[in-house]
A = this chain, B = another copy of it.
Amino acid sequence: MSKGTVVLAYSGGLDTSCILVWLKEQGYDVIAYLANIGQDEDFEAAHKKAESLGAKKVFIEDLRAEFVEEFIWPSVQANAIYEDRYLLGTSVARPCIARRQVQIAQREGAQYVSHGATGKGNDQIRFELTCYALYPEVKIIAPWRIPEFYTRFKGRKDLMEYAQAHGIPVPVTPKAPWSMDANLMHISYESGILENPKSHAPADLYLMTKNPEDTPTSPDLIELEFKKGVPVKVSHLKDGKSKDTPLEIFSYVNEIGGKHGVGRIDIVENRFIGMKSRGIYETPGGTILYHAHLDIEAFTMDREVRRIKQGLGIRFSELLYNGFWYSPECEFVRHCIEKSQESVEGKVQLSVFKGHVYVLGRESPRSPLQRRAGQYGCTGGLRSLRCVWLH
């Protein structure tokens, strides 16, 4: 008799394929769930593979549009950045993926969810906090924290043998000497040969961005239009091409950023769990939006509101990094940040060239600067009162 049904966050790779079979061995019915959040993946092949391994059901879910609108956009509003450098591309995808997973679990009557995250990283936390927040009764099976599992599978070799023994297709290409996480927003690279913080990243590591040495020798000029702090349109200033839905806008700035090698960083960050970890990230579109939003925000927002909001943005970034998207405090902070964005409206013109983003100019119907010549003295906003009072 079945122990119950588990919805497994399935990637199609060796680890989660083994977990799928192992869960069945343990007596569970397994529903495989694979989220499309923009990673480069053969989803159809993954679907077939999961079925062939004995998944009771398989769900391939296209979450790209909601990923941009409900997760990336609030991060843009917040100028979300962790420890001054990391744009949180992995962190922001986790609650989006886990939310759908528990929705499936609830709809399908599954009491369990499972994932292949290790016991040392941030992702297990981000994943599980979301599950508990949205489906408090759920039970989580985290094989990499279960002794029977992790003592049996001590390394990749054990997984390979298990795969061969259980008819799980084994990867034919050798594993990259590092681990990756890819989605619409970024690709991260860490572990393996990258773990040594001193050694330089190999030139052929990056998949989303061109090497700036090989990018075009003249810039692309684009204009980003914002309303309430989120992009509503991107236009190319030369060819006139433009996009105006969230997914298209984000995909387009990704394309421009990738073409010009924008958004590569190599950092050591502090993980939730305590250790320091070297990570390499490429976030082409996110980097462009970060600079554009910073600019339109500084242009349109009251100075003192901006100071307070800056503090909230830092808090938001820490919460996001640590997996607390679905927490009372993160919901509170998002609400406040959203409120601060009401006047963040206007257009920013940017040049994208050789790995860098240059702001060229901006305009807004809402900026005090542009009303400066007006009747109210210095700025036309309340800040001018201080000015008036000072004199």
User: Residues of A with Cβ closer than 8 Å to B?
Assistant: 79, 83-85, 120, 125, 128-129, 132-133, 136-137, 197-201, 212-213, 217-219, 264-270, 273-278, 294-295, 298-299, 302-312, 314-315, 318, 326-329, 332-333, 335-336, 339-340, 349, 353-356, 358-363, 367-370, 372, 375-376, 378-379, 381-390
The smallest beta-carbon distance between A348 and chain B, in angstroms, is 10
Q: Are A389 and B125 in contact (CB under 8 A)?
A: yes
Complex CA–CA separation, A27 to B169 (angstroms): 51
* Interface-central residue, A125, A129, A197, A375, by most chain B CB under 10 Å: A197
Copies of this chain, count: 4
Cβ-closest chain B residue relative to A262: B356
The smallest beta-carbon distance between A388 and chain B, in angstroms, is 6
Q: Are A83 and B329 in contact (CB under 8 A)?
A: no
Known: A133-B382, A367-B276, A369-B275. A356 touches B212 (CB 8 A): yes
A302: B residues at CB distance < 8 A: 327-329
Q: What 14 new A-B contacts, CB under 8 Å, besides A273-B378, A354-B356? A: A129-B385, A197-B361, A198-B361, A200-B349, A266-B361, A268-B367, A270-B306, A274-B386, A276-B299, A276-B369, A336-B336, A353-B355, A354-B355, A355-B355
Cβ-closest chain B residue relative to A337: B336
Select one of B268, B294, B362 contacting A295, CB under 8 A.
B268
Q: Are B332 and A305 in contact (CB under 8 A)?
A: yes
A303: B residues at CB distance < 8 A: 270, 274, 276
Complex CA–CA separation, A298 to B365 (angstroms): 40
Question: Can you pick out 9 interface pairs between chain A and chain B where the beta carbons lie within 8 Å of each other?
Answer: A120-B378, A129-B385, A213-B353, A268-B362, A274-B379, A304-B329, A332-B336, A336-B336, A390-B390
The smallest beta-carbon distance between A312 and chain B, in angstroms, is 8
A390: B residues at CB distance < 8 A: 273, 390
A125: B residues at CB distance < 8 A: 389
The smallest beta-carbon distance between A140 and chain B, in angstroms, is 9
Q: Are A197 and B363 in contact (CB under 8 A)?
A: yes
Q: Are A387 and B275 in contact (CB under 8 A)?
A: yes
Complex CA–CA separation, A206 to B114 (angstroms): 51
A217: B residues at CB distance < 8 A: 213
Cβ-closest chain B residue relative to A354: B354
A386: B residues at CB distance < 8 A: 129, 273-274
Q: Are A358 and B270 in contact (CB under 8 A)?
A: no
Q: Are B133 and A361 in contact (CB under 8 A)?
A: no
Select one of B275, B349, B363 contacting A379, CB under 8 A.
B275
Known: A213-B353, A353-B354. A359 touches B266 (CB 8 A): yes
Select one of B314, B353, B388 contacting A132, CB under 8 A.
B388
Q: Are B356 and A356 in contact (CB under 8 A)?
A: yes
Select one of B278, B310, B363, B381 contacting A328, CB under 8 A.
B381
Q: Are B304 and A327 in contact (CB under 8 A)?
A: yes
Q: Are A274 and B384 in contact (CB under 8 A)?
A: yes
Complex CA–CA separation, A386 to B136 (angstroms): 12
A120: B residues at CB distance < 8 A: 378
A359: B residues at CB distance < 8 A: 265-267
A270: B residues at CB distance < 8 A: 298, 303, 306, 383
A212: B residues at CB distance < 8 A: 353-354, 356
Q: Are B308 and A333 in contact (CB under 8 A)?
A: yes
A318: B residues at CB distance < 8 A: 307
A298: B residues at CB distance < 8 A: 83-85, 267-270
